[in-house]
Each structure stands twice: as structure tokens, then as C-alpha cells.
Amino acid sequence: MTPFLIALQFLTTFPIQLKQMPTQQQNGQSLLFYPVVGLIIGLILAILALLLQALPNVLLSSLILVFWIWLSGGLHLDGLADSADAWVGGFGDKERTLAIMKDPACGPIGVLSLIILCVIKGSALYVLLQHQLYAALILFPILGRLAPLFLFLTTSYVRKQGLGSSMAAFIPKTAALIVAALCLLVVLYFQWLGILSFIAAVLTLVYLRHKFIQRIGGITGDTLGASIEITEAVSMLVFACALSYLTLL
């Protein structure tokens, strides 16, 4: 139960209070519950969309996006902004890139990355609401939160101190693969649209992993947050575009 509460506390704004400090093993095990938290977030978004479906879609898509950001505490968006600033300002240098990630200030590139991502998500949400595909909102938070599992299983954690290093050391690898396989059941529920979104998510993560290793030799907490947001946005975009083309057939 504790690993689940750790994941819920870390990934959402739910008022979770742990009775004691978690162990390193529990921190590693909490990664297994990231997709479960994604499922919870997706269910809440789908229910919200269903309850407010009488609103104009342009307004509803904006409300859902704002609520989505609030529900996650903006944690992953912060990682995206820090990573974007570091990638541009680091000029290809590993140490400079890592140093910029630690800077709490957000530069213009970071702000621009947030705007672009929110525009893509908001537009994709609008398309889904147009087609009344409220259940599809469950898919993308799950795919996004598979990103940390994939990256922790395949990529070194750069910073040797902190929560991420202990999570990387104690993640149950076999159980993580089982969790990822179970998530495919949700993907298959949406048939070709779900499969295309999943393929897009995997290709996105493979590309991001390559760029992370190329620049800093692995991953950090900020790049993990960026990966969650980018994976969500890309999978939503592919789902919305494929839906539009399938409608024309």
C-alpha cells in the first residue's frame, strides 16, 4: 500500500500523508503504480468531461486542461520547462545543461515549450470532445506515466544523490514489465486508435532516450517530467489526427 501512496503523493495534488519515511525499496516499487495513478487521473478527467458535456467544447477543453494541470501540481510541466531551457542554454555541454536544470528560474524557451504543449493538448482535447470520446481521456495519462518505467528500466540516472537514484536502484524489473504489458489492455480497448497512440508514445520515448543519453548521459528528474508531458501530448495528437482521418473514410 505504501508504494501506491508514494506514487499518488508524488504525481498528484491529493492530500496524502505517509505515516513514516519510505524505504528505498518502497520508492523503487512506487514506480509500478505510476500507470495506476495515470488511470486514476484519466478516470477523473473522463468523469469531469461527462458531467460538463453540456458546455461548449472550446470551454470544456480549456477547463479539463486546467484541471489536468492542477491535478498533477504542474510537476511535469516544470520538468519540461527546465529541460527546454537547459537544452538550448547548455550549448551541447553536459555540465552546463545539468546546471541550468537546477536553476529554478524559467527562461523564454521554457515558457515557449509550455505554451506549445498546452496548445497541442488543448486542441487535441477539443477534437476528442467533438466526437464525445470521453473514455479516451483515460488512455493518455497512462501512456505518459509509462515513460518513467521505460526510462528507468533502460537508462542510467545521472545524478547520484537524491530520490531518483534510489528508485533506479530498486525498481522491480520483472514486475515493471508485467505492468507495462497490462497497460496494453487499455491500449487495445481503443483498437487502431489506441495502437497508433501507443506506437507514437514508444517512438517518442525511444527518441527522447537517445537525446538524453547523447546530451547528459542519462536521465534526471526534470527529463522524466518532460518525457511524461511530451509522451502525453504526442499520443493525444496522433489519436486526434488519426480520428479525423478515419472519420473521412
Q: pTM of the predicted model, to two decimals? A: 0.95
Residue 168's SS3 state is helix
CA distances in angstroms from 238 to 65, 85, 107, 204, listed in the order given: 18, 26, 29, 11
Q: HSE-up of 44 (CA within 13 Å, CB side)? A: 19
Q: Is 191 exposed, middle or buried (0-12, 13-18, 19+ CB in 10 A)?
A: exposed
At 247, the pLDDT band (50, 70, 90 cuts) reads: low
Cell of 91: 550549448
Q: Residue 137 half-sphere exposure, CB side, CA atoms within 13 Å?
A: 29
Q: Convert the pLDDT of each residue in 107-152 to its tens digit.
A: 899 999 999 999 999 999 999 999 999 999 999 999 999 999 999 9
CB of 204 within 8 A of CB of 232? no
Instruction: Give the whole-angstrom CA distance, residue 195 versus residue 184.
Output: 9
